Chains A and B, each alone.
Chain A
Amino acid sequence: MNTIFLIVQREYWTRVRKKSFVVMTLLGPLLVSIFYAFLIWVSMAEETPTYRVLVLDETPDGMAAELSTKAGPDIVFESGLPGNLSAFTDVLYQREEVDAVLVFPLRAFENPSSIYLGYKTPPSLESRSGISAAVEQVLEKRKLAFYDIPQSTFDEIRKRIDMPIRKLKESGSLQSDDSLLRTALGLGSGFLIYMFIFLYGVMVMRGVLEEKTNRIVEIIISSVKPFQLMMGKILGIALVGLTQFVIWALLSGIAMAIVGGIMAPDALEQARQGSLQTQAEVGGINTGEVLGMIAGINWFVILGSFVFFFLGGYLLYSSLLAAIGAAVDAETDTQQFMLPVSLPLAFSLVISMNIIKNPDGPWATFFSIFPLTSPIVMMSRIAFNPPAWQVALSMGLLVLTFVLSTWMAGRIYRTGILMYGKKASYRELMKWLFYKGNA
């Protein structure tokens, strides 16, 4: 046990002190905060260029005069110019700041689809919808007048309701709908586990390969059992990963708070209220309810299962990757064995993105129990409170599988690390599994 601790210690310290680790650990949060600052900056910046539209109104009663000047913050309608389309086209191409011509033909009211926009500069998505909305508004007003409907009546008819969606609990009380939050939570933690398994699993493989190609491995395993060396490496690297994630989380939090504080706190406050407002408009939720939603999630269960699936998945995959590292002579040879390992991993990420729409469906259920995909898929489901027996089964199977996979990996590892210049095939690996080993 003492020797495993020594190995864990070495694996941990040599990696944590590496320049690349320090740089990545500090750079990660820096990149996150730069990205965050950029987002705020973009949302605050009003530099979107004005989209200037010439209005050619051929309608007898000057319909276009009613075009709202407030179509959008950056759309300007220029109306009242004389001339026909060819004259307008000339102006469009003479004046650099003009981007398009909006044409209301003679019978625009009777035939609204004859109205069109001819552009020199293609309009942005925002400008498109702004201009369309402005035209629709003009038509609307005209039609109301035509049918003699008062604006107030029309507004009354058109009033939108925001149907509240609530969870009806068994007790009969209502609870706010938090499925969006749960979806984000599930996908986020699933993705984190995926990242962790992949990044650090490959690090285990490289470490094993390094020891093998360095030929230091025979010196070490004359002092410790190969299994101890493998497990020491896997655990040491797990700690490296945990350290990096904790530092990232802390630094990112601090950096984002600082960035938020520096870059116009008012704007941030506005944005926050704005987003709450939109949410309130959409789902009828207020700030209190949001807090209630956050409180309503069983964080203990989520965090607990995160740590469990995170470690379980990592142990399972890193042991397989350790076996691959031991079986080959060079990193280029890892390809043929990498595919079957990385495929289920990538697959479970895709699956969890899709099943999140139906977290209790048959696929979701199956893949959240199947051990090769369960760490990611079950984690994506866990926020939706899946049946307890499924979680228990999934966890149990994961434990069984990683015990089996570390056992298998240990056997392949022990033979592989001392095998040089021999190209390992799957058949070869099967044989290694059953060699008589250390007593």
Chain B
Amino acid sequence: MAMETSLAIDIRNLTKRYAAHTALNDVSIEVPKEQIFGLLGPNGAGKTSLIRIINQITAPDSGQVLLFGSPLAPMHVSRIGYLPEERGLYRKMNVGEQALYLARLKGLSTAEAKSRLKMWFERFDLNPWWNKKVEELSKGMQQKVQFIVTILHEPDVLILDEPFSGFDPVNAALIRDEILRLRDNGTTILLSTHRMESVEALCHSIALLHKSKVYLSGSLTDIKNRFRKNEYRVVLEMPETEFNTHSQYLSQTLLPTKLEWADGFAQMEFQLPESGALKATLNELLKLGNLVEFRELLPGMDRIFVETVTESSKA
């Protein structure tokens, strides 16, 4: 059945209805192999429903999910690692014992699980806590244990739902580095999050779910290009007196969103009506002073997110 495919997860026309509402409405998403894929969307968009279907916790009403080219089957459970958003541990159970139990549920042998856990506990400074009860651990440490348990069986696909929540910046960085390392080693990672800065920092492609539908999908660069608004930033070197002479002209011709002078540099940010006007504008500006910086201002993911969601809400 399994064909050679470049997709790790191929979600085809998924629909999932509950009694009162539709959680997923004809959702199709392609998650390429060995990448970090961002699954975005406001609360209640259907992200958790989708993730639960991929994890075979629930079944769709219609549609199909292919994992590395073959339809989801029980044996896929051991190829997926899942860190749910709402996550916890048995409070009264020993940390090590619990990690061992969860690893064995994923199909690891006791010996294998033990040796891998030793390695990871060492790496995350958790060794002294092996025999402690979970309730004695801080929230951050519990999160570390959960993360270890999620990746211990070396899954091909890792599904992380808000993996950074509950971590302080130091540990968040630790987790981020591990995620990047896993990607470099060939793991496909589905990252569901509200934190756009982690999307920008980590994801190669994304899909934006809203109101049970896919509103946006593709690589981050493509999406940003789609949302480019011909906004540019230019910094020219010029004395203050000269800036004062030109400032009126500049604000009338460029209608800048930002125009200021500081420490010998004039900074301006503006939007052009069309990209064809760029060359002429730039030529004009070059006459005024030495060009120090020029770049296009691409929209940030949070802006794209808000824009898409509010647009569609109006519709």
Residues on A lying within 8 angstroms of B by beta carbon are 3, 6-7, 10, 14, 18, 210-211, 214-216, 218-224, 226, 418, 420, 431, 435-439
Contact = CB atoms under 8 A, between A and B. Distances in A.
Contact of A219 (B52, B59, B149): B149
B196 to A, nearest CB: 25
Contacts of A420: 86
A222 B107 CA distance: 12
A435 B52 CA distance: 15
B102 A223 contact: yes
Contacts of A220: 102, 105
Contacts of A418: 52, 57-58
B268 interface: no
29 contacts: A3-B105, A6-B101, A10-B101, A14-B90, A210-B90, A211-B90, A215-B84, A215-B87, A215-B88, A216-B87, A216-B89, A218-B86, A219-B82, A219-B102, A219-B146, A219-B150, A220-B102, A221-B57, A222-B57, A223-B77, A223-B106, A418-B58, A420-B86, A435-B18, A435-B19, A436-B59, A436-B61, A437-B59, A438-B57
B67 to A, nearest CB: 14
Interface string B87-122: 111111100000001101110000000000000000
A222 B90 contact: no
Contacts of B104: 6
Interface of B: 18-19, 52, 55-59, 61, 77-78, 80, 82-84, 86-93, 101-102, 104-106, 146, 149-150
B93 A214 contact: no
Contacts of A222: 55-57, 77, 80, 82, 84
A218 B77 contact: no
Contacts of A6: 101, 104-105
B106 A214 contact: no
A418 B52 CA distance: 10
Given A6-B101, A6-B104, A10-B101, A218 B59 contact: no
Contacts, number: 71
Given A223-B77, A418-B52, 14 more contacts: A214-B88, A214-B89, A214-B90, A218-B82, A218-B86, A218-B87, A219-B102, A220-B102, A222-B84, A224-B105, A431-B19, A437-B58, A438-B58, A439-B59
A210 B91 CA distance: 9
B105 A215 contact: no
A226 B59 CA distance: 13
Contacts of A435: 18-19
Q: Which of B55, B58, B92 has the most CB of A within 10 A?
A: B58
A226 B61 CA distance: 19
Contacts of A218: 57, 82, 84, 86-87
Contacts of B84: 215, 218-219, 222
Contacts of A215: 84, 86-88
B112 to A, nearest CB: 15
Contacts of B87: 215-216, 218-219
Contacts of A431: 19
A420 B85 CA distance: 13
Closest 3 CB pairs of A and B: A215-B88, A214-B88, A218-B84
A439 B62 CA distance: 12
Contacts of A437: 58-59
A144 B99 CA distance: 90
| Residue from the set A221, A223, A439 with the largest chain B CB neighbour count within 10 Å | A223
Contacts of B106: 223
A418 B92 CA distance: 21
Q: Which of B58, B87, B105, B106 has the most chain A CB within a 10 Å cutoff?
A: B105
Nearest to B161: A218
Contacts of B52: 418
A3 B91 CA distance: 21
A13 to B, nearest CB: 9
A223 B83 CA distance: 12
A208 to B, nearest CB: 13
A436 B57 CA distance: 12
Nearest to A211: B90
Contacts of A436: 59, 61
Contact of A14 (B19, B78, B86, B92): B92
Contacts of A216: 87-90
